[in-house]
């Protein structure tokens, strides 16, 4: 479905060191891939390149054999790619219901919107008519963002550290959401070091210093690399 061919990324006018160095990966339709590794290894940069937020300085990105290397984020979204930011974008002044309609690309019913909110643990009567503003907590914004992604029904979804800023209950609910997406045949790419998410993945990709250190199934050795009970960080 998605293929990265010798992708590299280097900031123009910055350090000569490549943030990503000749990364080649294939993501199959319906596959759940977790990308992990130390801070600064290039994980979020890789996610940004796939979404079109950044453009690689070398290599190609193919979606269903079509070259999308130079397509911007809007055009990639139209092709069915969705992105969940580590820090959700705040659309101030927009009602939650309107945001879900925009995400779905059509005027959905309040009942359908309520279903998406329920999936992320939010009550429709408490949120649908509310405007998004600074009064929402980080956890609420994260859940609303994920609800909007569910409304989009994208075929390829990228989550950049989806566990950031949410409590334990929300995280357990997040795991259920991923299980549902996986069952529905969505292609999922998750940037994370959380053990529960890594265990859901069909394939693990470990980045280190901008290069692929490992790709394959999850092993006990990977979970114990740092001695952290949550997994690799």
Comparing 138-147, 152-161, 166-175, the range with the smallest average pLDDT is 166-175
Q: What is the mean pLDDT of the chain?
A: 88
Q: Averaged over 188-211, what is the pLDDT?
A: 93
- Encode pLDDT of 3-35 as tens digits: 999 999 998 766 667 899 999 999 999 999 999
> CA–CA separation, 2 vs 50, rounded Å?
9
Q: For residues 148 and 155, what is the distance between their CA atoms, to the nearest angstrom? A: 14
Predicted confidence band of residue 169 (pLDDT cuts 50, 70, 90): low
| Residue 228 predicted with pLDDT over 80 | no
pLDDT given for residue 87 in this prediction: 75
User: In which band, very low, low, confident or very high, does the pLDDT at 186 lie, cut at 50, 70 and 90?
Assistant: very high
Q: Which span out of 81-90, 110-119, 161-170 was modeled with the highest average pLDDT?
A: 110-119
The answer to whether residues 94 and 145 touch, using CB atoms and an 8 Å cutoff, is no
pLDDT of 165 reads 67
Does residue 2 surpass a pLDDT of 50? yes
pLDDT tens per residue across span 89-104: 777 889 999 999 999 9
Q: Is 10 exposed, middle or buried (0-12, 13-18, 19+ CB in 10 A)?
A: middle
> Which region among 49-63, 65-79, 173-187 has the lowest average model confidence (pLDDT)?
173-187
Question: Which tens digits make up the pLDDT trace of 27-62?
Answer: 999 999 999 999 999 999 999 999 999 999 999 999
pLDDT level of residue 138 (50, 70, 90 thresholds): confident
Which pLDDT belongs to residue 231? Answer: 41
- Please give the model's pTM, rounded to 2 decimal places: 0.88
Residue 95: alpha-carbon gap to chain centroid: 23
Across 193-216, b (16+ Cβ under 10 Å) vs e yields bbbebbebbebbbbbeebebeeee
In terms of Cα–Cα distance, which of 92, 86, 87, 80 is closest to 52?
Answer: 80
> Confidence band (pLDDT; 50, 70, 90) for 223?
confident
At residue 41, what are phi and psi to the nearest 5 degrees?
Answer: -85, -10
Of 169 and 103, the structure prediction assigns the larger pLDDT to 103
Asked: is 2-223 a CATH 3.40.50.300 domain? The reply is yes
**DSSP of the chain, one letter per residue?**
-EEEEEEEE--TTS-SS-SEEEEEEEE-TT-EEEEE-STTSSHHHHHHHHHTSS--SEEEEEETTEE-TT--HHHHHHTTEEEE-SSPPP-TT-BHHHHHHHHHTS---HHHHHHHHHHTT--HHHHTTPBP-TTS-HHHHHHHHHHHHHHHT-SEEEEESTTTT--HHHHHHHHHHHHHHHHTT-EEEEE---HHHHHH-SEEEEEETTEEEEEES--HHHHTSS--TT---
């Amino acid at each position: 479905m998605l293929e990265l061919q010798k992708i590299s990324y280097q900031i123009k006018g910055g350090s000569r060191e490549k943030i990503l160095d000749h990364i080649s990966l294939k993501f199959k339709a319906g596959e759940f891939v977790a990308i992990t590794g130390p801070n600064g290894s290039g994980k979020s940069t890789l996610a940004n390149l796939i979404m079109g937020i950044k453009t690689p300085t070398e290599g190609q990105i193919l979606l269903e054999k079509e070259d999308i290397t130079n397509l911007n984020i809007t055009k990639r979204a139209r092709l069915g790619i969705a992105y969940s930011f580590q820090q959700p974008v705040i659309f101030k002044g927009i009602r939650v219901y309107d945001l879900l309609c925009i995400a779905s690309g059509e005027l959905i019913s309040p009942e359908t919107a309520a279903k998406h909110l329920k999936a992320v643990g939010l009550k429709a009567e408490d949120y649908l008519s509310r405007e998004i503003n600074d009064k929402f907590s980080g956890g609420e914004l994260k859940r609303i963002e994920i609800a909007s992604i569910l409304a989009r029904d994208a075929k390829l979804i990228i989550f950049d550290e989806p566990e950031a800023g949410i409590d334990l209950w929300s995280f357990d609910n997040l795991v259920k959401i991923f299980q549902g997406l996986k069952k529905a045949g969505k292609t999922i790419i998750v940037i994370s070091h959380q053990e529960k998410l890594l265990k859901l993945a069909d394939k693990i990709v470990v980045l280190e210093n901008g290069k692929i250190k490992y790709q394959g199934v999850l092993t006990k050795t990977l979970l114990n690399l740092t001695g952290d009970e949550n997994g690799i960080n």
